[in-house]
Structure 1
Amino acid sequence: MLTAVATALGLSNVVPFGQGGQKIVASADFGDQPAIVKIVLVPAGPNGRVVVERAHREVDLLAAVDSPTVVKVLTDAVEIDDPMQVVCWVEERLDGDDLDRHFDRQWAEDEAWLLAEDLASALAACHREEVVHRDLSPRNIRRLDSGRYVLMDPGLARHLARTALTGFGQPGSYGWMSPEHVPGGRAVPSSDVFSAGVLLYCALTSTLPVPYGHDDSDYYRRLAQEDAPSVTQLRSDISAELADLVDTCLKRQPARRYLDGEELQAAVRRFRRVCA
């Protein structure tokens, strides 16, 4: 399989280093450029069509978004074998590690502002293309060696103008969901803003504002009915501006949050000028 993938994508030195579910991730050389290759295994039966559509959607969304805070895709999605067994593509290789490796401590305020800036920039770029990420969680954010952040893996994203291709429910990661992820809800751009608030809250406090206790119904009830606590309950030392930003992201009602990434980005810039 790896030989077929390398041939189809023009790769050399393909070395797998991770697998999750149906996706294999490998390092490779793409010409003279180090790269990452994503290999999605296609199951037999009707679920195969959904997997293929999802893979093409992920690549199409990455290709549509042009931002230094969103990972770049370097090829189209390529289907291999008949009947199809694999869909694969190439992305830029990022240094650093995933954000979840950095939540074992409470961050300083300057660190949290950098995360806020880059999350807002990434979401603004996605939302301008009418794309809702829907799974903004630590495993989908890369912390680069420079200390900046890049959004990855929009495989569960939803294009608001193409509902027929993206109607797979409201997926997400427990602990990082928005109230709109509750069954029966519909994710919108401000849903990503809520999840950005969860990331910032966790960075500052090392805890989740709405923890997941392995009881789905209880978690969904609290998301839908209870207001998230103010970040100042655990971090009274941070500036009023940063606390206001995080608390506004975590408003239970979507209309009371920043409505999309561009509004969040404007608020970050405004507050940063005040704090400078």
Structure 2
Amino acid sequence: MEERLLDGKYKIIDKIGHGGMGTVYKAENVKLQTYWAIKEINSINQKNINVKEYDILKKLNHPALPRIFDIFEENSNLYIVEDYIEGINLKEFLKNNGTIDEKTAIDWFLQLCHVLKFLHEQKPNPIIYRDMKPSNIILTDQGALKLVDFGIAREYKDTASTDTVFIGSRGYAAPEQYGLGQSTPATDIYSLGVTIYHLLTGHDPTTPPYKLRPVREIKGNLSQEIENIIIKCTQEDPGKRYQKIDELIEAINNIASKEKRETKGKPYYKSFRRLILCVLDNTEFASELGWIISKAAGLKTVIIDTSYFDSKLDICMCIERKLSRYVAEYGKSPLEVAYNMLTEGTDLHQIFENSALKPAKNLYILCGLFNFENTGKAPFEFDKLIDAAYKYHDMCIVIMDRNTIYEGILKTSDYLIVASEANFDVVRQYKKVVDIICKRLQYPITQVKYAAFNYKKGINLPLDILKKVFSPKCFLGTINYKPERELYKNKDAFYPDSAFKLLEEEYSGMLGQFNIIAKPGLTEKLKEFFRKNFGFRRENLDWEG
């Protein structure tokens, strides 16, 4: 392939896709040596592209969606720069591996439902994806699905009666996309149904005879319930389909519940999605959460402390001596070393394996030094370092001081977690900080989560008041106060471990809300882990989150 450089910095490496709306390339930012997916749309197809729609998509933040970083024009072409996602699209997966079983179909059905739910609930207008098909879905190495190619997504508006032009993939597109009506959430439900039909049966809907037969006629081992769901999703009349994603999710979960009963209590698992969690001003909480995720869930986790003036992460993780030896050897903190390696173009594996401190298996620590001279400084662009961390780890936890809010960090974060004491003055203070972040920086309030930390029942604010302040959907739960836990802070011990021994139920409940308990068999491993190490029996824990 002839070498091309776009926008003075993106070197085209390979063509990774081609469709009716344009060509997708894998490209390298030669300045940062990071990889991106760039979609090229020629002048002919640009008439079907509304750049304003992409401006809307740039603000979306969901773990199953690639982030859009840049849009530019060059030589009459439009270029859209997105996350480059490692993995295989489901069209290739089907070609290489054959059809999927019902359990996998239920898992993927739910993953795709949740990302469509996120799109359809955007304000002021829902976003309709309009191009669901196997080739637009990437399966990552972690088992998560990513929805790519938003070239024909649009806002749904009540004032429109029909779509202006047919756009979609024949065979997967709903009848109303052929100019017979306006695309609505039910349009995406139709295409989702056809996609799962194709993955379950192997019958390509884009080839003759173009008819969707009942799936049990093709694969007799499928359940009547999954057949009924697909039939309802793919009705030609939009009014006869599920009208909302929530209705479809409920129907799928009913199958999962039945399967759970029939497999003698073996739980149905949701699939893990990589996340960036930004913890506001609570290093203790971030330390404990990171340790639990890495140790109990077995996920590769990095904790990055952006409090460059007074980092406490070394104390919380009991790595003061390691940090001192590290600085004596390198002359810089792990945070500085990692960023310097990043700017020099070092391979991501080397950056985190060589620069981070590792207090436990699967746990990586990047922190600065307690240094008064660093007051008020932002020594480098944290968002670039966090983006690199995201690409290399399953879970990225970022600690941010409420007095030094970095907009770039918030833009990359999937959730902002406030874990504070539940006293009136403290809660009021953090509520004001959250309001400012959401209003001034346009951070979605739905992605803010609150946890009552060191909660003292009967002394702190009642839970019903806390839920009113931050809304029930934002409320993660409580990490209860334990006098024994306080003792560990002043001992030369790894107290996140000790804290988990005392508070595993509270933290496990929070893990479920972030869908971190991910793969089949992990729940039993967790139970065995608790029994073996701590003597706990977890028979009553809701492992479905």
Give the alignment's TM-score, normalised by structure 2. Answer: 0.41
Task: Work out whether 1:93 is the aligned partner of 2:77.
Answer: no
What is residue 117 of structure 2 aligned with on the other side?
124
Partners of 2:202 and 2:155 lie apart in 1 by 32
Q: Please list, as runs of the form range in 1=range in 2, the aligned pairs for 1:71-82 lying within 5 A after superposition.
A: 71-75=66-70, 77-80=71-74
**How far 1:133 sits from its partner (Å)?**
1.5
In the alignment, which of 106, 109, 115 is matched to residue 108 of structure 2?
115
Aligned 8 A contact 2:172 2:195 in 1: yes
What is residue 234 of structure 2 aligned with on the other side?
250
**Number of residue equivalences:** 249
Partners of 1:64 and 1:261 lie apart in 2 by 22
Deviations 1:14-46 (A, max 9, x none): 424246364352322373643222233335xxx
What is residue 140 of structure 2 aligned with on the other side?
144
- For 1:264, give the aligned amino acid: L
Aligned 8 A contact 2:235 2:241 in 1: yes
SS of equivalent to 2:183: coil
Deviations 1:161-189 (A, max 9, x none): 3988x954131112212222334333221
What is residue 245 of structure 2 aligned with on the other side?
261
Give the alignment's TM-score, normalised by structure 1. Answer: 0.77
- The change in CA–CA distance for 1:31 and 1:175 in structure 2 (over 3 A counts) is same
- The change in CA–CA distance for 1:41 and 1:193 in structure 2 (over 3 A counts) is same
Over the aligned positions, Cα root-mean-square deviation in angstroms equals 3.0
Q: Which has the larger radius of gyration?
A: 2
- For 2:68, give the aligned amino acid: V
Aligned 8 A contact 2:17 2:25 in 1: yes
Partners of 1:126 and 1:86 lie apart in 2 by 27
- For 1:15, give the aligned amino acid: I
What is residue 174 of structure 2 aligned with on the other side?
178
- For 1:124, give the aligned amino acid: K
- The change in CA–CA distance for 1:162 and 1:35 in structure 2 (over 3 A counts) is farther
Greater shift after overlay, 17-26 or 194-203? Answer: 17-26
Aligned 8 A contact 1:170 1:185 in 2: no
What is residue 23 of structure 1 aligned with on the other side?
23
Partners of 2:83 and 2:73 lie apart in 1 by 20
What is residue 190 of structure 1 aligned with on the other side?
186
What is residue 38 of structure 2 aligned with on the other side?
37
Partners of 1:18 and 1:163 lie apart in 2 by 38
Partners of 2:184 and 2:114 lie apart in 1 by 17
- For 1:35, give the aligned amino acid: W
Greater shift after overlay, 238-247 or 109-118? Answer: 238-247
Could you say which structure has the greater relative contact order, defined with CA pairs below 8 angstroms and 6 or more residues apart?
1
Percent sequence identity is 23
**How far 1:144 sits from its partner (Å)?**
1.5
Greater shift after overlay, 255-264 or 185-194? Answer: 255-264
- The change in CA–CA distance for 1:19 and 1:204 in structure 2 (over 3 A counts) is closer
Aligned 8 A contact 1:123 1:262 in 2: no
Aligned 8 A contact 2:130 2:168 in 1: yes
Task: Work out whether 1:237 is the aligned partner of 2:235.
Answer: no
Aligned 8 A contact 2:133 2:191 in 1: yes
In the alignment, which of 79, 93, 118 is matched to residue 102 of structure 1?
93
Aligned 8 A contact 1:170 1:187 in 2: no
Q: Please list, as runs of the form range in 1=range in 2, the aligned pairs for 1:158-169 lying within 5 A after superposition.
A: 158-161=154-157, 168-169=164-165
Unaligned runs of 5+ in 1: 223-227
- For 1:90, give the aligned amino acid: V
